[in-house]
């Protein structure tokens, strides 16, 4: 791998603390950081090199549900040799002159800085200043090496702002320099859906309207918004995870086979699904958990959604008339993310009249926890009677809870960026297609229905699916148990 400089704008942000710094530690531990690669943190607060190292060290020891394994001092010592810090304000053009000078000196000292990744872990309001100032210093040019920009979801807050941001990005960078990151695209369990579907011959012929009755996608969390009130009360659930993570899940599980495993081919197929999604504004329910309005930095009269459930269709030949039900929320009964493909039950199925004899087969892509791919089937209960019971045929990832065999998505996406592989990043068109679908649903927001923490959200969400003669599936913890 090429050596490079990783420049993180907003190194003291929540994102940097929770995701980036732990991912960099993991990469150091696995020997994935190229020799002489350097990490340059940027924030407003003045810090000496020693203080910056201390900040990094303390961050790694913060309680973090995403990163619970041991921090080895030896690894941290090696990592700390790569750490540099430059303080400054991102809307100050003088600061970028200072940064350029700093990188030139670093380069001369034997730490190559011609190849660069700029990571935007900062407020969207500051993006334009960063781009403009980088250009002013010609730091976006790829004269002596490659320059790549990593930018987090959300790209904009609706279709028109997403278009404006994409336009702005393309004023300063070319599309192949822009890595629009949605960490769900970097999830191992999501990427494996492509392998499961397209590298095996036996499942794919069944994934269409002839065999599938409906699809359900659930992303539920049993915790609330924590201290993210300031951010969350501006976006709400639908824009926080619906516009992005859940649509990625839908795209992976329903897209057609790409002609090859390349960025162009995979993106093209994902995009086709997004463009065929039908928004049904009359089929969406918004909820808010009881107690949300008392959270720090939340408007006490807030009508922001912390839950939604909606129905949609993909208007293509393959899934014509197959309903898709999608729900997500905070403070729900369980933390679980999964995609369920519920199969039709043929009329003449053998022993259909017995207990559970007409239970449908379900293909479950369990994104987390108990990660795996599972097929719910009926089996005969051993014995002399004809009795049936549902069982799971399963592929599971984890044998022990502490193994981190599954790389963190941020690690995965940083590696892809270093390699220059955009397959698991969104391009401008995809992001715009996502907003084009979400915008009409957002317009339906009004007063959300208040629901009890620990429930499955408002009763109305159950009615949404029940009115079609179906039920939400209770996510099972009976498979891939650790
Ligand atoms: C983030 C959202 O993008 O994704 C959070 O802002 C959400 O609100 C999180 O909790 C879910 O990610 P994961 O990887 O924990 O499922």
Q: What is the pLDDT of residues 82-99, one digit of tens each?
A: 999 999 999 999 999 999
Q: Which of 365, 332, 367, 368 is nearest to 65 (CA)?
A: 368
Q: Is 241 in the pocket of ligand 1 (CB under 6 A)?
A: yes
Domain boundaries, the chain: 5-152, 185-466
Residue of 183, 220, 330, 434 with the most ligand 1 atoms within 8 Å of its CB, for mutation: 183
CA of residue 241 to ligand 1 center, whole Å: 7
The three-class DSSP label of residue 154 is coil
Task: Assign 403 a pLDDT band (cuts: 50, 70, 90).
Answer: low
Instruction: For 415-429, write each residue's pLDDT tens digit.
Output: 999 999 999 999 999
Atom of ligand 1 lying closest to residue 219 CA: 16
Instruction: Copy the structure tokens of residue 15.
Output: 């994102």
Per-residue confidence (pLDDT) for residue 399, from 0 to 100: 60
- Catalytic residue of the set 61, 66, 245, 353: 245
Q: What is the CATH architecture assignment of 185-466?
A: 2-Layer Sandwich (3.30)
Band the pLDDT of 195: cuts 50, 70, 90: very high
What is the Å distance from ligand 1's center to 410 Cα?
Answer: 12
Per-residue pLDDT band at 380 (split at 50, 70, 90): very high
Instruction: Report the length, in residues, of the chain.
Output: 482
- In which residue are the tokens 């941290």 written? 76
End-to-end CA separation in angstroms for the chain: 35
pLDDT at 401: 53
Tokens of 451: 């629901």
- pLDDT average, residue stretch 224-252: 96
Its pTM stands at: 0.95
* Ligand 1 atom closest to Cα of residue 221: 10
Least confident of 46-50, 60-64, 435-439, 445-449: 60-64
d(CA 409, CA 413): 6
Sheet strands side by side (includes 38-43): 83-87, 38-43, 5-9, 116-120, 147-152, 178-181
Supply 345's token pair: 């039950």
Nearest CA to ligand 1 atom 7: 241
What is the whole-number distance in angstroms between the Cα of residue 122 and the centre of ligand 1? Answer: 17
Instruction: Output the CA 437–ligand 1 centroid distance in Å.
Output: 20
Q: Are 397 and 371 in contact (CB under 8 A)?
A: yes
> Which fold, 5-152?
Rossmann fold (3.40.50)
Residue nearest to atom 11 of ligand 1 (CA): 241
Whether 245 sits among the annotated catalytic residues: the reply is yes
What tokens appear for 298 in the block? 């939340």
pLDDT in tens, 321-356: 999 999 999 999 999 999 999 999 988 999 999 999
pLDDT of residue 402 exceeding 70: no
pLDDT, tens digit, 9 for 90 and up, residues 27-82? 999 999 999 999 999 999 999 999 999 999 999 998 877 777 788 999 999 999 99
Asked if 288 and 306 count as a contact pair (C-beta separation under 8 A), the reply is yes
* Alpha helices per DSSP H over 125-262: 127-136, 159-172, 188-198, 229-237, 247-254
SS3 213: strand
Please report the DSSP string for 417-459 in residue order: HHHT--TTSB-HHHHHHHHHHHHHHHTT--SPEEE-TTBSS-H
**Ligand 1, atom 10, residue with closest C-alpha:** 221
Distance, in Å, from the CA atom of 421 to the CA atom of 333, rounded to the nearest integer, reads 38
Task: Assign 400 a pLDDT band (cuts: 50, 70, 90).
Answer: low
Q: What is the pLDDT of residues 102-117, one digit of tens each?
A: 999 999 999 999 999 9
Mean pLDDT of the chain: 95
| β-strands 284-289, 307-314 pairing | antiparallel
């Amino acid at each position: 791998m090429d050596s490079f400089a990783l420049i993180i704008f907003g190194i003291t942000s929540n994102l940097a603390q929770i995701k980036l710094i732990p991912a960099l530690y993991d990469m150091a531990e696995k020997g994935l950081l190229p020799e002489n690669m350097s990490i340059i943190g940027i924030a407003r607060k003045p810090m000496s090199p020693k203080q910056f190292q201390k900040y990094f060290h303390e961050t790694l020891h913060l309680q973090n549900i995403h990163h619970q394994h041991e921090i080895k001092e030896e690894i941290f010592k090696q990592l700390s040799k790569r750490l540099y810090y430059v303080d400054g304000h991102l809307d100050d053009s003088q600061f970028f002159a200072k940064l350029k000078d700093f990188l030139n000196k670093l380069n001369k000292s034997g730490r190559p800085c011609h190849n660069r990744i700029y990571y935007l872990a900062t407020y969207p309001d500051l993006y334009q200043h960063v781009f403009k100032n980088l250009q002013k210093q010609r730091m976006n040019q790829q004269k002596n090496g490659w320059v790549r920009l990593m930018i987090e979801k959300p790209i904009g807050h609706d279709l028109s702002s997403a278009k404006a941001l994409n336009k702005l990005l393309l004023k300063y960078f070319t599309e192949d320099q822009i890595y629009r990151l949605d960490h769900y695209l970097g999830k191992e369990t999501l990427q494996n859906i492509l392998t499961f579907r397209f590298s095996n011959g036996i499942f794919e012929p069944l994934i269409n309207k002839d065999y599938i009755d409906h699809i359900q996608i659930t992303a539920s969390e049993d915790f609330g918004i924590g201290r993210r009130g300031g951010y969350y009360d501006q976006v709400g659930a639908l824009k926080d995870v619906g516009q992005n993570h859940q649509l990625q899940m839908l795209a992976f599980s329903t897209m057609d086979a790409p002609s090859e495993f390349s960025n162009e081919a995979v993106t093209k197929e994902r995009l086709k699904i997004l463009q065929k999604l039908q928004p049904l504004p009359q089929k969406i329910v918004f909820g808010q958990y009881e107690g949300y309005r008392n959270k720090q930095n939340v408007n006490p009269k807030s009508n922001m959604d912390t839950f939604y459930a909606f129905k949609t269709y993909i208007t293509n030949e393959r899934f014509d008339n197959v309903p898709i039900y999608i729900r997500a929320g905070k403070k729900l009964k369980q933390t679980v993310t999964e995609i369920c493909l519920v199969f039709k039950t043929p009329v003449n199925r053998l022993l259909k009249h017995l207990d559970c004899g007409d239970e449908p087969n379900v293909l479950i892509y369990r994104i987390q926890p108990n990660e795996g791919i599972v097929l719910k089937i009926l089996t005969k209960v051993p014995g002399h009677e004809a009795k049936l019971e549902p069982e799971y045929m399963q592929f599971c990832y984890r044998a022990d809870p502490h193994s981190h065999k599954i790389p963190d998505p941020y690690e995965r996406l940083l590696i892809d960026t270093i390699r220059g592989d955009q397959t698991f990043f969104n391009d401008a068109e995809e992001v715009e297609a996502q907003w084009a679908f979400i915008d009409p649903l957002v317009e339906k927001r009004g007063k959300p229905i208040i629901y009890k923490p620990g429930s499955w959200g408002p009763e109305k969400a159950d009615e949404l699916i029940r009115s079609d003669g179906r039920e939400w599936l209770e996510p099972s913890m009976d498979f891939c148990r650790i």
